[in-house]
Structure 1
Amino acid sequence: MVAALHLPSLPPLDELLESAHVVALPLATRFRGIEHREAMLLRGPAGWTEFSPFLEYDDAEASTWLAATIDFGWHSTPAARRSEIRVNATVPAVAPDAVSDVLARFDGCRTVKVKVAESGGTLADDVARVRAVREAMGPLGRIRVDANGAWNLDEAEHAVRALAEFDLEYVEQPCGSLEELRELRRRIRYMGVPVAADESVRKAEDPLAVARSGAADLLVIKAQPLGGVHRALAIVAEAGLPVVVSSALDTSVGLAMGAALAAALPDLDYDCGLGTASLLAADVTTQPVRPEHGTIPVRRPAVDESALEFQAAPPDRRRWWRERLTRCHALLAVSQG
């Protein structure tokens, strides 16, 4: 059995709140329907750490992210097996003529993840966007697409057929349920397009169910949603599938947490989705964890105090996050017994 959500020690709430800063960082390109990314930064004995579950997540789900925050800020990270991580570029659901501008923000990346199945968009829009990426990357570039579970089974099969001409590395979370993923994997096997699971891992009560059911060829894992670096490593070890370490539009501090996870993995065959600081128009450090020559370093960035002040969220949003932290801390306290 994979390790349950557990922390060796839960810091007092006052200790967390004392160091908490809430920022609202502008995005260079609209992503997931938002133009600013809110996040809470905290400073623990091990250094700066991040608490940034998306706003729509309930407290039960967000408390898992808080466990990851504490794991990274209050406990040591596992030994690193590598000092830098190859990362992919990420192209939001933009028009084809905007693709080159987005890619220009990701220095030297050989792999691109393209968002598809966006609300209000069409398959024709997705095909045009992926075609623009393929033209920009050339025949040797690697392209993966991410539908965030938005297609039903037949829509997913039709979409993969339409996109297969662009030589897809894999399709990420094309459908929402394990049953659909498993059947889609069977239907598209002849095309040689692997299926990756993201939400079916990080949002599931049992993150290993997708591996046991044969519903995916590889897993996309994220440190915060899985409860931290140590728990994510335990999940990977038990799943027995190749993995891609990705982010949730984190600040550079959150990306450092993801890099620590990627660095500790025994095997890392895919470029990771940890270059997303390039989608931010501002960050919390003077040395953002952005791709250079297609890689990011494995390091915990120094947070710039002036950036915390300049990018501070409005008072009502700071209060909202502090109340959220308080509720999530209470849930963790109950779970720790």
Structure 2
Amino acid sequence: MPSLEELLACAHVVTLPMRVKFRGVLEREVLLLEGPAGWAEFGPFLEYDDGESARWLASAVEAGWDGYPAPVRGWVPVNATVPAVSADEVANVLGAFDAVHTVKVKVAEAGQSLREDMARVAAVRQQLPHARIRVDANGGWDVDQAVQALAAMSVYGLEYAEQPVATVPELAAVRHAMEGSVLIAADESVRKAADPLAVARAGAADLLVVKAAPLGGVRRALDIVAEAGLPAVVSSALDSSVGIRAGLALAASLPDLPYACGLGTVSLMAADVAADSLVAASGGISVRDVAADPSLLERFAAAPERRDWWLARLRRCFALL
């Protein structure tokens, strides 16, 4: 475990512009750390409290000071991601991704309608007739809305629906109502839960979506998947290439990887911290290390007041580890 002084001394805060709005933001702020085992990312979203954010710091410490488990595969298939854009923008978003075989489509965005969601999914299917399509509601529907929406969208052949509703009992209700016509995946009910195994015990999901940083690191995420006994999809949290490396390590270490992973989000960014970004080629990413480029760290350095904000957050989260 490094000291707080060691973390502060190697910290870099950057602001990276986005190609399209994602999670309501056009800029992504993250704090990077250079440890003896490699580069690490601490990037909980701004609204997350310190208790939740401390797990992200634990993941960063693992990456920078312990390194990653030995991989069992050297290549990881990845999906494209379509944010909650208009149907007219779908082709442009998909054009940023390489060899698209699987697409995750964001739905249930606040202020948008089911009609807009349907149009977005339909536009993806029109662009990619043979691709696998999964939708992600981020818990934005209630049970009735989820059942109605998924029944309507099932005509486009959904691979699964990610976190259609907010709670574990609601997930169980939707899964029961869909009767296997659409598989249900749990994301927030795993990574944001005090008990990440509650979903599996309740029989509320067919598969889990796991992210290294919110779960406290690659090794803890591997333990959760093993205990849950469900298939897993590895995803990211709108990370730079440094953060994607942690997700890549998790995907590369899982005994089984039946689904394409949500690790292609660097393609949604207009800038990165690595000169050789971790983006997909031929539909996947080869497992390799990545380093932040000093010139890019300088170019995209956050404003002084934002750096101070992140360093204060780092201090508070460190105290909770």
**TM-score of the pair, normalised by structure 2:** 0.99
| Counterparts of 1:325 and 1:302, CA distance in 2 | 21
Q: Provide the rounded CA distance (Å) in 2 between the counterparts of 1:246 and 1:188.
A: 24
Structure 1 contact 255–274 (Cα < 8 Å) conserved? yes
Q: Identical aligned pairs, as a percentage? A: 59
Aligned to 1:226, what secondary structure does the other structure show?
coil
1:55 aligns to what SS in structure 2?
A: coil
In the alignment, does 2:288 pair up with 1:299? yes
Instruction: Tell me the CA shift for residue 206 of structure 1.
Output: 0.4
1:107–1:293 Cα contact (<8 Å) kept: yes
Q: Which amino acid aligns with 2:4?
A: L
Matched, 1:26 2:17: yes
Contact 2:185–2:209 (CA under 8 A) maintained in structure 1: yes
Q: CA deviation at 1:302?
A: 2.0
1:240 equivalent to 2:229? Answer yes
Which residue matches 1:53? 44
Q: Secondary structure at the match of 1:296?
A: strand
- 1:113-128 matches, cutoff 5 A: 113-128=104-119
Counterpart selection for 2:206 from 211, 217, 222: 217
> What's the offset of the Cα at 1:298?
1.1
Encode CA deviations 1:132-177: one digit per residue, 9 max, x unaligned: 0000111x21000000001000010111011110000000000001
* Equivalent residue, structure 2, for 1:5: none
> Is 1:163–2:156 an aligned residue pair?
no
Amino acid corresponding to residue 260 of structure 1 in structure 2 = A
Q: Is the 8 A contact 2:19 2:268 kept in 1?
A: yes
Aligned residues: 321
Q: How does 1:37-116 map to 2 (within 5 A)?
A: 37-116=28-107
Q: CA RMSD in A?
A: 0.6
1:188-219 CA deviation, whole Å, 9 max, x = no partner?
Answer: 115x2100000000000000000110000000
Q: Which of 246, 267, 281 lines up with 1:257 in the alignment?
A: 246
Q: Which residue of 2 aligns with 1:12?
A: 3
Contact residue 109 and residue 295 of structure 1 kept, 8 A:
no
1:144 aligned onto 2:134: yes
Query: Could you tell me which amino acid in structure 1 is paired with residue 209 of structure 2?
Result: V
Q: Gaps spanning 5+ residues in structure 2: where?
A: none
* TM-score between the two structures when normalised by the length of structure 1: 0.94
Indicate the residue corresponding to 1:7 in structure 2.
none
178, 191, 197: which one aligns with 1:188: 178
Matching residue's letter, 1:88: N
| Matches of 1:151 and 1:186, distance apart in 2 | 16
Q: Distance in 2 between matches of 1:63 and 1:300?
A: 24
Matched position secondary structure for 1:99 = helix
Distance 2:29 2:101 in 1: 29
In structure 1, the gaps of 5 or more residues are 1-9, 333-337
Partner SS, residue 261 of structure 2: coil
- 1: CA distance, partners of 2:52 / 2:171: 23
Q: Which aligned segments of 4 or more residues in structure 1 are displaced greater than 3 angstroms?
A: none
Of 308, 311, 321 in structure 2, the residue corresponding to residue 322 of structure 1 is 311
Measured in 2, the distance between the counterparts of 1:262 and 1:299 equals 12
Contact residue 38 and residue 67 of structure 2 kept, 8 A = no
Is 1:205 matched up with 2:194?
yes
2:124 aligns with 133
Say if 1:287 and 1:301, in contact at 8 Å, map to a contact too. Answer: yes
What SS does the corresponding residue of 1:43 show, helix, strand or coil? strand
